[in-house]
């Protein structure tokens, strides 16, 4: 009988208590934690050595506790094709967050520690990122949009289509979007199809087009 290989995760978190808690949480749910470290340099070495599927990274780590983790995540994305990165932090750093999402939003997540209300949501976010999806906290999306000065590429979307696209940026499925907006699944599918057409996205796998749409949304 064939078995599915566990998702392999590297963790970078300077708080020993939280780091150990994340390790236990993920191991208990079937993930393989390849390494758990406290600083960006150790994370870089761990990713190069163990080739995890996803790196869960805090932003503020030694030595200055400002943005070392996020800058390390950007470098890892550049150096390791296919590596998913989930930023898990108390803070939003819009400049580096936009850079993390630049050019390719595949396999990127940004969640705020204080706003993750359910362990299942956190675990689901890691799985989505590992599979090439996105997992963005709504507040992160809001602040990224607030920091943006351009909106022309989305000017053709209706207000409802913008709502759907914002929920897509959070990583929600069509069914979850339908529940949030209190509409039918069919209505959401129609809105998504209109978004793809208006953004002139190439016909390809639906999941890839969703990522392209999210990237266009964040770039705008």
pTM over 0.75: no
d(C-alpha 204, C-alpha 79), whole Å: 26
Distances (CA, A) of 1 to 4, 70, 136: 10, 41, 36
Does the 8-145 domain belong in CATH 3.90.1640.30?
no
For the stretch 148-202, pLDDT in tens is 544 556 778 888 988 888 888 777 788 888 998 999 988 998 988 888 888 877 6
Q: In the chain, pLDDT over 70 holds for what percent of residues?
A: 84
What is the assigned CATH class of domain 150-219? mainly alpha
Where exactly are the structural domains of the chain?
8-145, 150-219
d(C-alpha 141, C-alpha 31), whole Å: 28
């Amino acid at each position: 009988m064939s078995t599915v290989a566990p998702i392999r995760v590297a963790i970078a978190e300077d708080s020993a208590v939280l780091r150990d808690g994340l390790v236990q949480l993920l191991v208990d749910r079937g993930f393989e934690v390849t390494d758990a470290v406290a600083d960006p340099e150790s994370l870089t070495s761990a990713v190069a050595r163990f080739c995890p599927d996803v790196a869960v990274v805090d932003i503020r780590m030694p030595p200055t506790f400002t943005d070392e983790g996020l800058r390390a995540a950007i470098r890892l994305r550049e150096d390791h094709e296919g590596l998913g990165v989930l930023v898990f932090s108390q803070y939003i750093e819009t400049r580096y967050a936009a850079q993390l999402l630049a050019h390719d939003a595949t396999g990127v997540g940004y969640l705020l520690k204080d706003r993750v209300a359910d362990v299942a949501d956190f675990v689901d976010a890691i799985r989505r990122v590992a599979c090439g999806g996105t997992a963005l906290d709504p507040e992160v999306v809001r602040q990224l949009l607030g920091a943006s000065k351009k909106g022309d590429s989305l000017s053709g979307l209706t207000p409802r289509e913008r709502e759907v696209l914002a929920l897509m940026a959070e990583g929600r499925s069509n069914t979850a979007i339908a529940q949030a907006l209190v509409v039918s699944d069919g209505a959401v599918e129609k809105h998504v199809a209109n978004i793809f057409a208006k953004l002139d996205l190439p016909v390809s796998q639906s999941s890839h087009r969703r990522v392209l749409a999210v990237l266009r949304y964040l770039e705008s």
